[in-house]
Structure 1
């Protein structure tokens, strides 16, 4: 279990997020809001790795090799982007006696938000991460990252643009 040790100052520091190869998390190369949404077991704290304490590659290695989970790669948001959507981020290391300590572990705090707010913020963070692109593995390795889509041509059919 991790403990919130230190609030991270809004800056350009990357918060690395592992993205599952599941189509719910990564759909046609686009990071979805699911990748940036906490699960009920997370108790409102979304796990990330703090860029001031690790690299995208080290975060990926810890997740896939030490913990044994699959990852389509690492995407990132910044602590400033988290603050821009009205949330806080923390350094929250996983410490012994946990069998797999992680001194670079961090959390994005979704606690106290209703489902609509969680979805709105998750969607905004996923868009930022997608636009930044996959941080690791490099584009020429594993699953290729897909660039952000270009603007679609204007359509007179408004039903196609409303969801």
Structure 2
């Protein structure tokens, strides 16, 4: 787990968030609150990349190439938008001895201490802001609202039913 090194001041600094190609994360071209909700394993800290330390393209490349994960794109909120809904944001670089590849631009939006209902409401607010700002990377083609989703697994690739 990364360490919260520096609290970020509310500003126009972008906090980039990778969005999974799952329909629950982006539906009909609209980023959902799921994309801005920390998972239980995250211990209340939503992973983002700090715009003062990277670009949308670089954090996308890190996520897809270095970590080998899928992303339909990068959306963003500002530290000011996070603070406006009561959430602090931090620079929390991934460094050794963390087993993950180093990420000096890693940051966190702090949802700790929020119950599930409150966290969902806050995530919904962030998702609305991110959707209004639009996808930051990769660029959208004319008339495209979101990158195409990967094709569903073929029957041969799907796990057998028990």
Instruction: Give me the TM-score of the superposition, normalised by structure 1.
Output: 0.86
Q: Which runs of 4+ in 1 moved over 6 A?
A: none
Aligned residue-pair number: 145
**1:126 counterpart SS class:** helix
Question: How far apart, in 2, do the equivalents of 1:99 and 1:22 lie?
Answer: 23
For structure 1, the residue ranges without an aligned partner over 5 or more in a row are: 147-163
Contact 2:18-2:73 within 8 A present in 1 as well: yes
Contact 2:8-2:90 within 8 A present in 1 as well: yes
Question: How far apart, in 1, do the equivalents of 2:104 and 2:32 lie?
Answer: 27
Which residue in the other structure is 2:132 paired with? 131
Coordinate RMSD, CA, aligned: 1.4
Q: CA deviation at 1:140?
A: 2.0
**1:41 counterpart SS class:** helix
Question: How far apart, in 2, do the equivalents of 1:99 and 1:85 lie?
Answer: 30
Question: How far apart, in 2, do the equivalents of 1:99 and 1:112 lie?
Answer: 26
1:45-93 per-residue CA deviation (whole Å, 9 max, x = no partner) reads 0000000000000000000000000000000000000000011000000
Q: CA deviation at 1:145?
A: 2.3
Question: How far apart, in 2, do the equivalents of 1:99 and 1:39 lie?
Answer: 17
Matched, 1:60 2:85: no
For structure 2, the residue ranges without an aligned partner over 5 or more in a row are: 147-162
Which residue in the other structure is 1:18 paired with? 18
Question: How far apart, in 2, do the equivalents of 1:99 and 1:111 lie?
Answer: 22
Q: CA deviation at 1:116?
A: 1.3
Q: CA deviation at 1:96?
A: 1.8
Question: How far apart, in 2, do the equivalents of 1:86 and 1:96 lie?
Answer: 31
Question: How far apart, in 2, do the equivalents of 1:99 and 1:109 lie?
Answer: 20
